[in-house]
């Protein structure tokens, strides 16, 4: 089991970081490659989750080749629609392979997905979507089997909640179904818009919007050629690194419009942020003031994937802030670890807590990451501790941050990963 060692900072961070392709766009696009007669995906990040997706593709009868930032996925002679339990257990996104494998093979099977433990995380909406498009589904607590020997039929899909994953399942399945589909109350995350662009590059007919409209191809798609969008959560994490250390950073390949609520929070706290196309500049003064209340919500509101990083920032700045986590029922794993470092955080219930900023450094401690973004928050906390910290459970962080040690050392952070 690996761990990160973050040394205390003598100087605020400064310099330039190039943001990688987005994990949460690349994963559904690799699943969607199953629908295509080949796919070339540029700006595809090197992450352990991408390696898991590559193994799922190879197991299903596809080749996965990487040349630098570009990966190429090609169907081999025979495909099979089953994803092994071991690979499903490694990441939540394994569920995204069910729909494309069903469309390609007429039947498919996956096991209940693993990945970050943020609450119950059921898959009932993925099943509802496929049944609405005409698939026969049998599922127990362990495995989901789907069959549609004559293909899927376009339909109206009305999602009770704007689930990111269920929207992606619907878009992929409807793109290959016969007839038209409309997805009502879809998730509007930029990663879904990017998936639609990927599918349209292979001849699909998807129109992204408040209702996603899809004219199905009644069969598989052509060759896809696409460049993965920038990772807005990685960008937000580096902005938080600048804010927590009172530093100055220039992010290349980053879109301000994808994380506007977080940018607004940082500006209200006292940061200066400027952006031009595909770049963001931040200059953070040493003294920042907490915003009174922050709530996570579906895009375009404040993203749950930046909540732990914001919590680490709030812990060392001035003033108090109440945070409510509305997406996941237990995404507070970072709080006991931050408290161990001396943070003053009061938990009200499984979704709500108040941070009273120390307006000073945290204590150096050995802490443990319990999921990907919790890990990112603990590395940020190390930047605000006199002698840094040691973050166990480092493999969580490698799932979502490309070249984190190299990128952080370029901006003055002493960090290393050890196994």
79, burial (CB in 10 Å: exposed 0-12, middle 13-18, buried 19+) = middle
For every residue of 170-220, DSSP letters joined together read: HHHHHHHSBSEEEEES----HHHHHHHHHHHHTT-EEE-SSSEEEE--SS-
Q: Does 183 bind ligand EPZ (CB under 6 A)?
A: no
Based on CB atoms, which residue is closest to ligand EPZ, 127 or 244? 127
The residue within the footprint of ligand EPZ, chosen from 163, 181, 237, 307 (CB under 6 A), is: 163
Positive or negative, the CA dihedral 43, 49, 53, 55 is positive
- Which part of the chain contacts ligand EPZ (CB under 6 A), choosing from 40-48, 119-127, 249-257, 401-409? 119-127
Tokens of 53: 């997706």
CA 180 to the chain's CA centroid:
29
Q: Find the part of the chain contacting ligand EPZ (CB under 6 A) among 122-130, 347-355, 362-370, 378-386.
A: 122-130
Site for ligand EPZ contains 372 (CB under 6 A): yes
126 binds ligand EPZ (CB under 6 A): yes
Among residues 116, 196, 271, 374, which one is catalytic? 116
Residue whose CB is less far from ligand EPZ, 121 or 143 = 121
Instruction: Tell me the C-alpha distance between 272 and 158, whole Å.
Output: 41
Site string for ligand EPZ, 77-96 (x = CB under 6 A): ---------------xx---
Residue 66 in tokens:
């990487």
Tell me the residue nearest to ligand EPZ as measured from the CB.
165
CB atoms within 10 A of CB 354: 16
- The number of residues that bind ligand EPZ (CB under 6 A) is 26
Q: Which residues of 291-317 are buried (b: 16+ CB within 10 A; e: fewer)?
A: beebbbebbeebbbbbbbbbbbbbbbb
Please give the residues from 320 up to 349 whose contact with ligand EPZ meets the rule CB under 6 A.
327-328
Smallest gap from residue 412 Cβ to ligand EPZ (A): 26
Among positions 373, 374, 398, 402, the unique one binding ligand EPZ when judged by CB under 6 A: 373
Nearer to ligand EPZ, 155 or 377 (CB): 377
Asked if 311 is part of the footprint of ligand EPZ (rule: CB under 6 A), the reply reads no
CA–chain centroid gap for 211, Å, is 22
CB of 376 to ligand EPZ, least distance (A): 9
Q: Tell me if the bond preceding 230 is cis, omega within 30° of 0.
A: no
Q: State the Cα–Cα distance between residues 406 and 419, nearest whole angstrom.
A: 17
Instruction: Give yes or no for residue 398 binding ligand EPZ (CB under 6 A).
Output: no
Least distance (Å) between residue 162 CB and ligand EPZ: 7
- Structure token digits, residue 389: 């910290």
Residue showing tokens 């007839």:
179
Least distance in angstroms from the C-beta of 115 to ligand EPZ: 7
The residues, ordered by sequence, that sit 6+ positions from 342 with a Cβ below 8 Å of its Cβ are 358, 362, 363
Stretch that binds ligand EPZ, among 37-45, 73-81, 163-171, 349-357 (CB under 6 A): 163-171
Please say if 142 is a catalytic residue. no
Which residue in 83, 155, 166, 249 binds ligand EPZ (CB under 6 A)?
166
Two structure tokens written together for 241: 């690194």
Q: Is residue 140 a contact partner of residue 122, using CB atoms and an 8 Å limit?
A: no
* Closer residue to ligand EPZ, CB minimum distance, 121 or 340: 121
CB of 116 to ligand EPZ, least distance (A): 5
Helix locations, 179-319, DSSP H: 190-201, 232-245, 260-269, 307-316
Residue of 305, 325, 392, 402 interacting with ligand EPZ (CB under 6 A): 305
Strand, helix or coil for residue 365: coil
Residue 124 in contact with ligand EPZ, rule: CB under 6 A: yes
- Give catalytic residues, as residue numbers: 116
Where along the sequence are the contacts to ligand EPZ (CB under 6 A)?
24, 27, 92-93, 116, 119-126, 161, 163-166, 187, 304-305, 327-328, 372-373, 400
């Amino acid at each position: 089991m690996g761990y990160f060692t973050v040394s205390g900072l003598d100087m605020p961070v400064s310099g330039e970081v190039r943001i990688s392709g987005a994990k949460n766009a690349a994963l559904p696009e690799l699943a969607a490659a199953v629908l295509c007669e080949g796919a070339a995906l540029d700006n595809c990040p090197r992450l352990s989750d991408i390696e898991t997706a590559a193994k799922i593709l190879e197991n299903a009868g596809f080749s996965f080749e990487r040349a630098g930032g570009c990966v190429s996925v090609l169907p081999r002679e025979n495909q099979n629609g089953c994803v092994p339990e071991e690979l499903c257990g490694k990441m939540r996104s394994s569920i995204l392979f069910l729909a494309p494998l069903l469309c390609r093979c007429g039947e498919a099977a996956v096991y209940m997905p693993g990945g970050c433990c943020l609450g119950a995380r059921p898959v009932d909406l993925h099943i509802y979507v496929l049944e609405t498009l005409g698939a026969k589904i049998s599922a127990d607590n362990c495995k989901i089997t789907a069959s549609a020997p004559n293909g899927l039929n376009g339909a109206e899909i009305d999602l009770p909640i704007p689930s990111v994953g269920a929207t992606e399942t619907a878009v992929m399945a409807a793109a290959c179904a016969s007839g038209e589909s409309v997805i009502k109350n879809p998730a509007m995350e930029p990663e879904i818009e990017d998936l639609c662009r990927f599918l349209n590059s292979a001849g699909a007919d998807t129109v992204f919007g408040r209702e996603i409209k899809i004219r199905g191809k009644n069969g598989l798609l052509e060759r896809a050629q696409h460049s993965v969008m920038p990772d807005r959560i990685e960008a937000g994490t580096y902005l938080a690194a600048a804010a927590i250390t009172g530093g100055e950073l220039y992010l290349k390949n980053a879109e301000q419009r994808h994380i506007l609520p977080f940018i607004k929070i940082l500006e209200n706290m006292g940061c200066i942020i400027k952006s031009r196309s595909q770049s963001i500049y931040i200059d953070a003064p040493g003294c920042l003031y907490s915003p009174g209340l922050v709530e996570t919500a579906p895009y375009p509101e404040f993203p749950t994937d930046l909540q732990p990083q914001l919590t680490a920032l709030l812990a060392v700045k001035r003033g108090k802030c109440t945070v409510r986590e509305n997406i996941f029922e237990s995404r507070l794993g970072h709080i006991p670890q931050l408290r161990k470092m001396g943070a003053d955080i009061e938990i009200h219930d499984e979704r709500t807590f108040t941070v009273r900023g120390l307006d000073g450094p945290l204590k150096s401690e050995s802490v443990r990451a319990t999921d990907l973004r919790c890990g990112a928050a603990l590395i940020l906390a190390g930047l605000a501790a006199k002698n840094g910290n040691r973050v166990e459970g480092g493999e969580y962080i490698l799932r979502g941050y490309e070249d984190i040690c190299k990128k952080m050392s370029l901006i003055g952070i002493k960090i290393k990963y050890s196994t």
